[in-house]
């Protein structure tokens, strides 16, 4: 995709969403269930859509929430359901719709006080904290489309393990929700909104205090405070706005928090590569504003709207590539958590950088390579056998200092605070650490290409086999492996990865957009990367013939 003229520039007013129009469409549009794009569909991060496209509206939320209630009965989940939402314009209406259904079904629901916003990792943390005490199992809902454009809405379900629901659960909920819609919502139990908000089973909960006070168990907050480093925290108008303010106050940090007021148009954002507003903290275009400010701070960072992803900005290199920061974080944690067992594994998605493999080998850690999706790290983090789980799209989590689980969903807050800990403890920012790693392990060049794809083309890519690859070399090197299943757990990739000695590429369709993605990496140079990408594109073209 070519770079849009608005990329990296403040979004023009003409591109801002019309919030009343979105909300009106949420309540008035009725999905056409015969149109696949208007059905409930759980991708890698829940159901996402837009009210103006009839793919995210009240009908969807009433149906999917009733389906969650029905699933809870099937699975005998009877504890509190923790519900969070982000700052997208459609999130608050969706939460109100969900409350009407949950209240009518008698589910005890904990929502943030004063209609506050709650990050995805905070919901995971709350579920795990309460389930560790025993008693009836708790679960959660997060209403968020993550970093998607301001026009979008999203709905995620986290079962009692605290992480993203697996496909067996989301498949059940999806099928049930669509059946409910086909039945014109006749099976939905729903209270009038005023009654639902006053219902005894809808409780207002303080999510902030327990999460913030618990951070000292996973991050060396004292070291950050004592160092006095100047921190820039860009809340990016997201659900963690109040959390950064609370963290600053609770731990006495020298931290400036900005973009911490509600603006559901996200008018302060710089446009992404395609000219759209997208709260993608890993994009150098979307993060151009914070990068411009990097000299003001010793370390700076931002998060996407539900705060499950991180973007690290250093004086040394500017915005870090997510793969580079994951490598630094793994190396640092492996040498600065003395209570952790030596035989803990490192989880990575198979489209993450091979630099992680080289770093892990140097510190004596086993790499567990899995398909795309954080759900694959849930079990290892929960049972304390995986010290760190990370994916190429700037999402990760890791264990507490004592080796016990912190969260089983991505936590952008602990990853940003870890960057401050690294600087405070070592005197070098993560960018400087990565430069040192490249001197030891080489300097890989990593890139991702997105291209439009029809549903039929996406279906082709999901069902590839090694036999579909006729080539024996990749950019001049013998092909060493062709993967359609991840080596860490033998789960289907939903695409394909081709590996040579000094480079690789992977093909996979997006789980949320009508595109396919080509990930590629070279440990030689830019020309070698271009050659890998060119051959990958030729392979895709042949598959679509």
Q: For position 28, which CATH number holds?
A: 3.40.120.10
Query: Do 44 and 179 share a domain, yes or no?
Result: yes
Query: Do 418 and 526 share a domain, yes or no?
Result: no
Q: Which residues contact 317 (CB under 8 A, 6 or more apart)?
A: 324, 431, 434, 435
Query: Do 366 and 411 share a domain, yes or no?
Result: yes
Query: Do 492 and 346 share a domain, yes or no?
Result: no
Q: How far apart are CA 60 and CA 173, in angstroms?
A: 12
Give me the mean pLDDT over the 352-359 stretch.
96
Q: Could you give the angle at the alpha carbon of 200 between the alpha carbons of 198 and 205, nearest 5°?
A: 90
Last residue of a domain, one of 409, 441, 473: 441
Give the residue among 59, 141, 333 at the shortest CA–CA distance from 218.
333
Contact predicate 305/87, CB 8 Å: yes
- Residue 1 in any domain: the answer is no
Give the residue numbers marked as catalytic: 146
Q: Which residues contact 183 (CB under 8 A, 6 or more apart)?
A: none
Query: Do 325 and 231 share a domain, yes or no?
Result: yes
Give the residue among 435, 466, 446 at the shortest CA–CA distance from 528.
446
Last residue of a domain, one of 441, 464, 485: 441
In this prediction, residue 1 has a pLDDT band, given cuts at 50, 70 and 90, of low
Query: Do 298 and 416 share a domain, yes or no?
Result: yes
**Mind listing the pLDDT tens digit for each residue in 97-129?**
999 999 999 999 999 999 999 999 999 999 999
Report the pLDDT value the prediction gives residue 544, as an integer from 0 to 100: 85
Question: What pTM does this model have?
Answer: 0.96
Query: Do 232 and 259 share a domain, yes or no?
Result: yes
- Residue 215 in any domain: the answer is no
Query: Do 267 and 317 share a domain, yes or no?
Result: yes
**Mind listing the pLDDT tens digit for each residue in 30-44?**
999 999 999 999 987
Query: Do 436 and 456 share a domain, yes or no?
Result: no
Contact predicate 278/288, CB 8 Å: no
**Mind listing the pLDDT tens digit for each residue in 268-288?**
999 999 999 999 999 999 999
301 forms bridges with which residues in the sheet? 233, 312
Report the pLDDT value the prediction gives residue 514, as an integer from 0 to 100: 80
Contact predicate 36/455, CB 8 Å: yes
- Residue 217 in any domain: the answer is no
State how many domains the chain has: 3
Rg from Cα positions in the chain: 22
- Residue 154 in any domain: the answer is yes
Q: What residues make up the domain containing 80?
A: 16-209
Give me the mean pLDDT over the 422-430 stretch.
98
Report the pLDDT value the prediction gives residue 479, as an integer from 0 to 100: 97
Query: Do 502 and 397 share a domain, yes or no?
Result: no
- Residue 69 in any domain: the answer is yes
- Residue 233 in any domain: the answer is yes
Last residue of a domain, one of 441, 458, 485: 441
Chain-centre distance for alpha carbon 39: 23
Query: Do 410 and 458 share a domain, yes or no?
Result: no
Query: Do 393 and 471 share a domain, yes or no?
Result: no
Structure tokens at 2: 């070519």
Calculate the CA dihedral of residues 407, 413, 417, 422 and round it to 10 degrees: 60
- Residue 450 in any domain: the answer is yes
Structure tokens at 78: 């009877």
- Residue 7 in any domain: the answer is no
């Amino acid at each position: 995709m070519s770079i849009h003229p608005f990329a990296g520039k403040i979004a023009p007013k003409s591109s801002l969403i019309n919030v009343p129009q979105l909300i009106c469409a949420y309540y008035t549009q009725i999905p056409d269930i015969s149109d696949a794009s208007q059905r409930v569909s759980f991708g890698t991060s829940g159901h996402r859509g837009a009210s103006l496209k009839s793919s995210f509206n009240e009908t969807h939320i009433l149906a999917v929430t009733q389906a969650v209630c029905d699933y809870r009965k099937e699975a005998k989940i009877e504890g509190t359901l923790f519900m969070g939402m982000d700052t997208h314009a459609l999130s608050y209406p969706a939460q109100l719709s969900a409350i009407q259904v949950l209240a009518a079904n008698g589910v005890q629901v904990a929502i943030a006080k004063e209609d506050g916003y709650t990050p995805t990792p905070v919901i995971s943390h709350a579920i795990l904290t309460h389930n560790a005490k025993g008693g009836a199992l708790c679960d959660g809902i997060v209403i968020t489309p993550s970093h998607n454009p301001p026009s979008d809405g999203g709905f995620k379900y986290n079962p009692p393990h605290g992480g993203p629901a697996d496909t067996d659960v989301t498949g059940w909920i999806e099928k049930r929700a669509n059946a409910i819609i086909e039945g014109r919502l006749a099976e939905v139990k729903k209270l009038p909104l005023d009654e639902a908000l006053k219902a005894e089973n809808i409780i207002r909960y303080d999510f902030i205090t327990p999460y913030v006070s618990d951070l000292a168990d996973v991050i060396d907050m004292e070291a950050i405070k004592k160092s006095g480093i100047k921190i820039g925290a860009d809340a990016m108008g997201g659900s963690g706005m109040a959390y950064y303010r609370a963290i600053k106050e609770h731990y006495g940090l020298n931290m400036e928090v900005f973009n911490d007021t509600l603006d559901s148009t996200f008018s302060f954002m710089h446009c992404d590569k395609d000219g759209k507003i997208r709260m993608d903290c890993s994009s150098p275009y979307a993060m151009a504003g914070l990068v411009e400010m990097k000299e003001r701070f010793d370390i700076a960072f931002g998060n996407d709207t539900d705060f499950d992803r991180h973007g690290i900005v250093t004086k040394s290199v500017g915005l870090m590539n997510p793969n580079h920061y994951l490598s630094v974080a793994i190396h640092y944690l492996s040498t600065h958590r003395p209570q952790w067992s030596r035989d803990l594994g490192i989880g990575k998605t198979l489209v993450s950088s091979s630099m992680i493999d080289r770093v892990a080998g140097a510190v004596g850690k086993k790499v567990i390579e899995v398909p795309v999706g954080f759900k694959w790290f849930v079990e290892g983090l929960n049972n304390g056998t995986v010290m760190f789980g990370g994916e190429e799209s700037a999402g990760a989590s890791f264990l507490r200092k004592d080796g016990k689980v912190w969260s089983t969903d991505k936590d952008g807050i602990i990853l940003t605070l870890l960057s401050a800990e690294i600087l405070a403890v070592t005197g070098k920012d993560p960018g400087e650490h990565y430069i040192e790693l490249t001197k030891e392990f080489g300097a890989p060049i990593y890139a991702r290409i997105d291209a439009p794809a029809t549903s039929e083309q996406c279906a082709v890519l999901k069902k590839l086999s090694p036999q579909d690859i006729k080539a024996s070399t990749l950019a001049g090197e013998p092909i060493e492996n062709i993967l359609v299943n991840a080596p860490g757990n033998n789960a289907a990739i939903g695409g394909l990865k081709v590996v040579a000695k000094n480079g690789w590429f992977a093909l996979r369709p997006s789980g949320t957009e009508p595109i396919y993605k080509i990930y590629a990496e070279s440990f030689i140079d830019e020309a070698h990367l271009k050659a890998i990408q060119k051959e990958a594109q030729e392979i895709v073209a042949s598959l679509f013939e």
